[in-house]
Amino acid sequence: MPFLIALLAGAVSVLAYAPFGQFWLMLPSWGLLYALLCRREIRSGRAFLLGWGWGIGAMFAGLCWLVVALHRYGGMAGWLSVLLILLFSVALALYHGIFAAVFARLRGPLGGTFSGLRPLLAAACWVGVELLRGQLFPSFPWLLIGYTQTPPSPLAGWAPVLGVYGVSFMLVLVTAALVDIVLNRTVWRRALAWVLVPCLISLGLRGVAWTHPVGDPVSVALVQTNVAQDEKWRPELAEEWLRLNLDLVREHPAQITVLPESSLPMLEESLPEGYVDTVREIARLGGGDAILGMFTRDAQGGIYNSVVSFGKSPTQRYSKNHLVPFGEYKPYGFGWFFELANIPMANQTPGGDHQPLLQVAGQQIAMNICYEDVFGEELRRALPQATLMVNVSNLAWYGDSHAQPQHLQMSRMRALESGRPQLRATNTGMTGIVMPDGSVAQVLAPFTRGAVSAQVRGYQGETPFVWWGDYPLKIVCAGLVLWALWQARRKSRS
């Protein structure tokens, strides 16, 4: 029964993310797991199962949209798609199980006099495994609980200081302290401090302008092509997509016109003769530059998922560096998967860590392609030089699902962390503009063809997160866990 309760509590957590946006629901969802782990009879083995159950519920409910990619567009049988996503969720949930086992092992020495410090240990252990999930294979930091706390959450102020992992830390700290108040009234004074202090500081931080606009506004057009995934790669329709890109650049003139990831679903070398010159001339006549998504190849035969700019400025390019496992490269030992699923361009080459910014319309543009927007620590490499952050994506793989609003929510967190506008041009949604305070200034309705046109100013300055990234949080989490280990060692000797 406790395992089932944990499983259901994890599944409820999906309602805290976009598109539902009930950020407060993460408190009872995660808090129930914490309450189960704080029972006296719980040891590491049973705790692992409870954490694993919570993680399975959270991951499967939050990632069930992956079935659309495998079944509808990947050609995999429906039942097999569901089974594989379930197995993927079970594997990802091992991290949640590790959290629960470690916390259950270390919480004992914090009883009695130290019980008010138990929420700190929970936050350190939780963020530790979230960091591992984002850095170890398959590097999948989707559905970090900190993402639920974009504005209007009272904890959103921590994002430009400690990033999304820091928001997770504060969320766990507050939730665990509230549960401790309910479970043990004798520690309510110390526990209440862990509730009030993070929230009050966060509210104060929300009033700080870490960055500032510079220069004159530039006109931008963020284009949504709305090409169905099952039509995008059909050879007989290639000419139609070539013409569509030209028409959209012509219809939406701006100093910076951005089309989505793989808006030209072919290699640059396969473009018709004179096509690039036509794009360049249309962009120039429109008074600026067009940035198009396409695939490029180097002299060694490596294929890249790239964006290339054409227009008044010299031609420039950026190639995706953080590739998606199973979608953009084939992990060792998983050849069988690609025999079951039909995924085009699934053997790409990373573009490299330190690529130059795109210099367009007087702006220093930090490009990132689709999944790269999930890695805030990696996007820091472009800061503080970048004045604008631009993401191009193709989420048509996932149909009309939660993937689009979840990705937009992560872009909101990136805007808070960087103190920069986040401009998004997507194939089917969500195309729009996210301001440095995490608010969504404009967004185009999904599954429509058109563009978000606006005047945008670049930003300069540095948030604390840009200064130090995740390093302070890593030090704090490691220190708290080591301190708890030392307490456990002392207790075992006494």
Give residue 444's pLDDT. Answer: 96
Q: Where are the beta strands (DSSP E) in 251-330?
A: 256-258, 289-297, 303-311, 316-319
Give residue 382's pLDDT. Answer: 95
Residue 324 CA to residue 322 CA, distance in Å, equals 7
Question: Distances in Å between the alpha carbon of 442 and those of 112, 363, 424?
Answer: 52, 20, 10
Give residue 113's pLDDT. Answer: 41
Mean pLDDT of 9-38: 97
| 262 and 337 together in one domain | yes
Q: What is the largest CA-CA distance in the chain?
A: 81
Cβ pair 92, 98 in contact under 8 A: no
User: Is the predicted pLDDT of residue 361 greater than 70, yes or no?
Assistant: yes
> Could you read off the pLDDT of 306-352 as tens digits, one per residue?
999 999 999 999 999 988 776 666 665 565 555 555 566 567 889 98
User: Is the predicted pLDDT of residue 75 greater than 90, yes or no?
Assistant: no
Give residue 151's pLDDT. Answer: 96
| 43 and 181 together in one domain | yes
| 292 and 405 together in one domain | yes
Catalytic residues: 261, 320, 370
Residue 258 CA to residue 288 CA, distance in Å, equals 11
DSSP code of 73?
I
User: Is the predicted pLDDT of residue 249 greater than 80, yes or no?
Assistant: yes
Give residue 73's pLDDT. Answer: 74
Give the domain range for residue 349: 212-462
Give residue 491's pLDDT. Answer: 75
Give residue 334's pLDDT. Answer: 60
| 436 and 330 together in one domain | yes
Residue 288 CA to residue 281 CA, distance in Å, equals 10
| 200 and 266 together in one domain | no
Mean pLDDT of 134-162: 94
DSSP code of 59?
H
Give residue 114's pLDDT. Answer: 47
| 70 and 118 together in one domain | yes
- Angle (CA) 34 37 38, round 5°: 90
User: Is the predicted pLDDT of residue 136 greater than 90, yes or no?
Assistant: no
User: Is the predicted pLDDT of residue 43 greater than 50, yes or no?
Assistant: yes
Give residue 340's pLDDT. Answer: 55
Give residue 139's pLDDT. Answer: 85
Residue 112 confidence class, pLDDT cut points 50, 70, 90: very low
Q: Choose between 482 and 188: higher pLDDT.
A: 482
Residue 196 confidence class, pLDDT cut points 50, 70, 90: very high
CATH number, domain containing residue 389: 3.60.110.10
Give residue 330's pLDDT. Answer: 64
DSSP readout, 142-202? Answer: TT-GGGGG-TTSTTGGGHHHHHHHHHHHHHHHHHHHHHHHHH-GGGHHHHHHHHHHHHHHH
In sign, the C-alpha dihedral spanning 186, 189, 195, 198 is negative
Residue 147 tokens, joined: 């993402």
DSSP code of 264?
S
* Number of domains composing the chain: 2
Give residue 301's pLDDT. Answer: 86
Give residue 343's pLDDT. Answer: 60
pTM of the model: 0.93
Label the pairing between strands 363-369 and 388-393.
parallel
User: Is the predicted pLDDT of residue 303 greater than 60, yes or no?
Assistant: yes
User: Is the predicted pLDDT of residue 285 greater than 60, yes or no?
Assistant: yes
| 218 and 160 together in one domain | no
| 218 and 203 together in one domain | no
| 220 and 193 together in one domain | no
Mean pLDDT of the chain, nearest integer: 91
| 149 and 167 together in one domain | yes
Mean pLDDT of 225-248: 92
> Could you read off the pLDDT of 76-85 as tens digits, one per residue?
888 899 999 9
Mean pLDDT of 25-31: 98
| 168 and 187 together in one domain | yes
> Could you read off the pLDDT of 396-448 as tens digits, one per residue?
888 888 999 999 999 999 999 999 999 999 999 899 999 999 999 999 999 99
| 133 and 230 together in one domain | no
